[in-house]
Every structure is written in C-alpha cells, then in structure tokens.
Amino acid sequence: MTREDTAASESFAQRKDGGSLWGGRFEEGLAPEMVPFNLSLGIDSRLWREDIRGSIAWVRALASAQVLTSEEQTTLIDGLTHVEDRIELEGLNEAPEEDIHSVIERMLGEAVGPVAGKLHTGRSRNDQSSTGVRLYGMAAADRICVEILGLLQALQGLAKSSVDVVMPGYTHLQQAQPIRVAHWALSHVFRLLRDVERIQAAKVSAAVMPLGAGALAGCPFPVDREALRAELGFERVSENSLDAVADRDWVCDLTYGGAMIGVHLSCLAEDLAIFSSAEFGFVRLSDGFSTGSSLMPQKRNPDVAELTRGKAGRLVGNLMTMLTLLKGLFTGYNRDLQEDKEALFDTVDTLLLTLPAIAGAINTLELRPERMREGMEAELLATDLADYLVRRGVPFRTSHEVLGELVRQAEERGISLSELPLELYQKAHEAFGDDVMATFDWLASTEARDTDGGTSLRSVRKQLESVDSRLVELGLVPNF
Ligand code: ARG
C-alpha cells in the first residue's frame, strides 16, 4: 500500500461516526436533528443481499469495461462475498450509516482496503438502490403469488366439496335467489385469479434494470448493460436514465395489486364474519382461527376475518402513500423517493401474513348446510314463480307485478309464499296451473340458471374445471 492508500483505508475505517459517502464536500457533519431524519437503514437493511448481488454484477461490468483489472475484480468480488457472509453471521451490528449501501461499502473497505473505493465508479446510489428494490420486488411478487395459490387451493377445495349444498344468495345483504355454496366460493376464486394476474403484471413492470443509469445521465464507462441485465435476471434494460432513477411506477403497480387483494380479502372476511354469527350460523370457523373473550365465556370471535378485513386499510393506504409520494415530483431523482420502500415492504409483509391465515381459516372451515336451509325464505323463489308465468307467455313486467302482489298478501297474512293457498295464486293470474307449488324447490331453482357462469350444476362444474386449468396456465400447479 502507498501512503495515500493507507490514509484512504484509515478514513474508510473512521466512517464509524455514521460517516457519509459524500464527506469531501462538507466541513461539518449532519445536525443532530438531521441524523435520525436522514436514516433509512432501519427500513432498507433488508435489501442487503440484493445490494451485494447488484454490486457483484457491477464489479464484473466495470472489469469488462476495463475500468477494473481482473485482480481488482477478484478482490472486490471476494470482498463482497465476505461481507455477505459477515452480515449473514453477525447481522449489521447497529451500523451507524444512513443506509444499507453505505454499510456494505464500509464493510467492503474493512475487508479489502482502499480498492473498495473503486466499486462505486460510474454508479450512483440512485440507480443502485432502485436496482436492489426491484430485485426484491420481483422475488416478492413470486412469493405473493404462491400465497394467493394457497388461498385459491383452499377456496377451490371448499367449492368442490359444496357443489350440492344450497344457500341463500344475497343482494343488498337481503335474500335474493338460491345459489350453490360452490358458486359463492368460486366468486372469491375468480377475484383472486385476477389478483394473480395483477401481481404478475407488477412483476413485469419491476423487471426493468436501472443499473447503469448513474445519478441521472447515464454511465461514462462502457459497461455492458445487457450483460448486467442477464446476470441479475431482469427482463429489460431501462431506456432513459433520467426516467429510470425516478421510476417507481412498478411500486404503484405492486401496491395497487396488494390493495386490490386487500379489498377482495376484506369482502371474503366480511362474508365469513357474518356467516359465522349466531344469526346466520352458516359456517363455523375452527378453534385455531377463532378467539375467545376475556370477559364473556360464551364468545367465539372470528378474529381471522376481522384482522383480514382490517389489514385492507394499510394495503390501500400504501397505494395512496405511493401515488401521493410521486405526484408533482420534479424530474430526476428526489430524496422523497426513499419513502417508497416502507410502503412496498409493508404491503408485501402484510400480504405474506394475511394470505396464509385466511387460507388456513378456509381450509378448516365447517359448513352448516342445515342452518343454510333453515335460513332460506320461500321468497327466494319469487323470481322463479315470475319465470313460471313467463314460460306460459305472460310478459315479465306483468308476472313481476303479480308476484309482488302475492308476496304482499303472504306478508299481510304472516305466512310465506309457499304457504299461500293455490286459489290465491290462480286468482292472481289464470296462467298459474296446479303444478305451481312444484316451483318451491331450491335445487330446481339453481338448475334453472344454466347459462355459463350461472349456478346450475353443469355451470358450476365448468367453472371448477376452468379454474383448475387457469391455475396450471398461470404456472401455479394445483395439487388437488
Ligand atoms: N436511501 C436512498 C434511497 O433509497 C438511496 C439513494 C440516495 N441518493 C441520494 N442521491 N441521496 O432513495
């Protein structure tokens, strides 16, 4: 080592004061109030693996561009591998630096000396940090899809086991028409399939490599960005460096996908909370996903559903954080962008926590077909009775009116439509034959709705098959 090198090496080591990567320009350190405000290490520390991966690729790119000798390349890559092992073993040990990039560069200096200072050639933390977060985001998208698959499997299993069970279907939370339980379960399956597509699309928008964009204007050394792309597993290379350092669209895409999942799960959760109440009693959540009360001994609370519904708030909030963060930013990198990570990580963490819990609840859910039957009012078949008249040539508007009148009469008598005497039907409209009472058949009502997408047995089976093959198509191999 030359004397200069030794001095540089010492100054690397001296950065333990929380020293920045930009000390030369400044006479004084950060103000005490600014130090905690400036920190992002608590958030971005989880990106240490991605940061090292990006740096190793960058070393190779610099060596191929003749900026580093092959000896320097070996030293730096060995050093970065050493840093990786060190962090794996010891963690970050309350590193004083502002962000993970600074910590790794300091540790690299401690490992290999002043040559560490060559790593950052032609690179900025702007393209560096964006690269790391994108690598994280691509892997996170895959993990989210796997967890959605778990829930899809649970719901598909429930649907397959409840093809012949009939329940009241609702609009406005009022009994509307009978449906198969499988039809209800599948309604949630189709929402989640769209969610998988949204997360996969977000992964595609994350898979653009910003490395080589520099701080804003590009890299002055002839690095092979295509080789970097291939090494790091990105799909494309960013096409405009000024755009690349500020592009967080993909974080919006992923947090939007997450927000939609949150909204969808909150609706499933609401169904479960209502269906598990004493008034409905259509389902029973297993002990493992219910909690009791410290005060009321009888309580059996559907906490899994309530927590799931509650998590939607933060998932929607994270999307709002991202959109608000980006609105009106001046072109180029702005430090505001550092705030992207907390929203992104929270969305990913929340989904990875919520999806398995709700899947577990569905897997262990007990259906109560008898309670569903008990709860079904004959009025659920009012449309079928109107359709009966339609089949005998009565215009639907007229038959709707006739049925409305019959429902009113039954209500006045305090009885249900099925208890209303045949004479009253025939008085209401001459097209009612003696066979009208045969309309009071739940299964027949579901069978009548045999268009594709409807609740008949054929249609529900077709939906189940379509879901099975969609899961395979999506690369998510179902194991049921
Ligand atoms: N922690 C920063 C971030 O995530 C790294 C980039 C800092 N760049 C800068 N010019 N200060 O955005």
Tell me, yes or no, whether 342 and 435 share the same domain.
no
Tell me, yes or no, whether 262 and 382 share the same domain.
no
Of 293, 294, 400, 456, catalytic: 293
Q: Which CATH number covers residue 72? A: 1.10.275.10
Ligand 1 atom 7: the closest Cα is on which residue? 125
Rounded to an integer, the average pLDDT of 88-102 is: 95
| pLDDT tens per residue across span 144-177 | 999 999 999 999 999 999 999 999 999 999 999 9
Of 55, 172, 188, 294, catalytic: 172
CA angle 209–243–53, rounded 5-degree value: 25
| Ligand 1 and 98: CB distance under 6 A | no
Residue 158 structure tokens: 């429930």
Instruction: Note the pLDDT of residue 477.
Output: 60
Tell me, yes or no, whether 156 and 18 share the same domain.
no
| Ligand 1 and 126: CB distance under 6 A | yes
Strand 236-237, strand 208-209: pairing: parallel
Q: Over 80: is that where the pLDDT of 6 sits?
A: no
Average pLDDT, the chain: 94
Tell me, yes or no, whether 389 and 337 share the same domain.
no
In the block, which residue shows the tokens 């540790």?
Answer: 107
Ligand 1 atom 4: the closest Cα is on which residue? 338
* DSSP secondary structure letters along 298-342: T--B-HHHHHHHHHHHHHHHHHHHHHHHHTTPPSS--GGGGGHHH
Q: What is the pTM of this model?
A: 0.93
Which of 335, 339, 342 is the best mutation target for the ligand 1 pocket, counting ligand atoms within 8 Å of the beta carbon and taking the most? 335
Instruction: Note the pLDDT of residue 11.
Output: 43
* Segments forming the whole domain that contains residue 254: 126-205+240-374
Instruction: Note the pLDDT of residue 18.
Output: 52
Ligand 1 atom, smallest distance to 215 CA: 10
Confidence of residue 12 (pLDDT cuts 50, 70, 90): very low
| pLDDT tens per residue across span 340-374 | 999 999 999 999 999 999 999 999 999 999 999 99
Tell me, yes or no, whether 31 and 144 share the same domain.
no
Q: Which CATH number covers residue 425? A: 1.10.40.30
| pLDDT tens per residue across span 17-71 | 455 777 778 888 899 999 999 999 999 999 999 999 999 999 999 999 999 999 9
Tell me, yes or no, whether 54 and 117 share the same domain.
yes
| pLDDT tens per residue across span 334-348 | 999 999 999 999 999
188 is catalytic: no
Nearest to 136 by CA among 201, 50, 209, 57: 50
| pLDDT tens per residue across span 299-343 | 889 999 999 999 999 999 999 999 999 999 999 999 999 999 999
Which of 338, 339, 340 is the best mutation target for the ligand 1 pocket, counting ligand atoms within 8 Å of the beta carbon and taking the most? 338
Tell me, yes or no, whether 119 and 51 share the same domain.
yes
Residue 161 structure tokens: 């086991």
Ligand 1 atom 12: the closest Cα is on which residue? 338
293 is catalytic: yes
Query: Based on the structure, what is the number of domains in the chain?
Result: 3
| Ligand 1 and 102: CB distance under 6 A | no
Residue 221 structure tokens: 């050394």
